[in-house]
Amino acid sequence: MSNCFDRLTGIGNRIALQQCMTDLIEEAKAFAIVFIDIDSFAYFNDRYGHDQGDALLGQLAVLILQQLPAEAQLFRTGGDEFLVLLPNTPLADAITFGDRIRMAIAQHCCHFPMQRLEFAPDGRSKEIEFLPTVSCSVGLYPEHGQDWMSLMQAVDEAMYKHRTQFGRNQVAVVEG
């Protein structure tokens, strides 16, 4: 179904994620989720424009896909948010995966041509170089939520709480 895929990145969207999580819950299968939020994405969009923001989302989706284990799935859940579903994955492995994604993105310099006519001193058109970072949070089913909605809420709250206390470019874990 085309309404289950994100048009920009081609990966599953929130509808597809909800269905996958519901299926796993109905089958009583444990899983981990890693919530990924791009740091300072609103600033990037404001400074360089939404077309460049879309290009950044596409580049990061590809980068995350390259890091996925075979059984994992990637979804775009919102404007600058992604989520990785890791079936039958213990907490320690999910944290390690989240940190691996965080480091891979932090080491990836994204390049974009400037859309405005701006030129460097040598007369060549300027190119945007951007080193993105992400904040992540990790949660487990059933430990951190009894249904897909409560688990999503738990990882979202954990990430924002952790980001407020410790800053960006970190991996948080749902407490409890």
Query: How do residues 91-113 score in pLDDT, each as one tens digit?
Result: 999 999 999 999 999 998 777 66
The secondary element (H helix, E strand) that includes residue 76 is strand 73-78
- For helices 14-26 and 148-166, what crossing angle results, to 10°? 120
* Residue 149, pLDDT above cutoff 60: yes
User: CA-CA distance, 131 to 92, in Å (whole number)?
Assistant: 27
What pLDDT shows up at residue 48?
Answer: 84
Of 160, 140, 163, 137, nearest in space to 150 by CA: 140
- Give the β-pairing of 171-173 and 110-113: unpaired
Classified as helix, coil or strand, 137 is: strand
64-71: average pLDDT: 96
* Residue 125, pLDDT above cutoff 60: no
Question: CATH number of the domain at 2-173, please?
Answer: 3.30.70.270
143-166: average pLDDT: 96
User: CA-CA distance, 20 to 156, in Å (whole number)?
Assistant: 18
Task: Judge contact between 57 and 8, C-beta under 8 A.
Answer: yes
Task: Flag whether the pTM goes above 0.85.
Answer: yes
What pLDDT shows up at residue 110?
Answer: 75
Q: How confident is the model at residue 88 (pLDDT cuts 50, 70, 90)?
A: very high
Structure tokens at 82: 């992604």
Task: Judge contact between 52 and 117, C-beta under 8 A.
Answer: no
User: What does the mean pLDDT of the chain come to?
Assistant: 91
Query: How do residues 134-145 score in pLDDT, each as one tens digit?
Result: 999 999 999 999
Q: Which residue has the higher pLDDT, 63 or 113?
A: 63
107 strand-pairing partners: none
What pLDDT shows up at residue 117?
Answer: 42
User: CA-CA distance, 94 to 80, in Å (whole number)?
Assistant: 21
- Give the β-pairing of 81-87 and 31-38: antiparallel
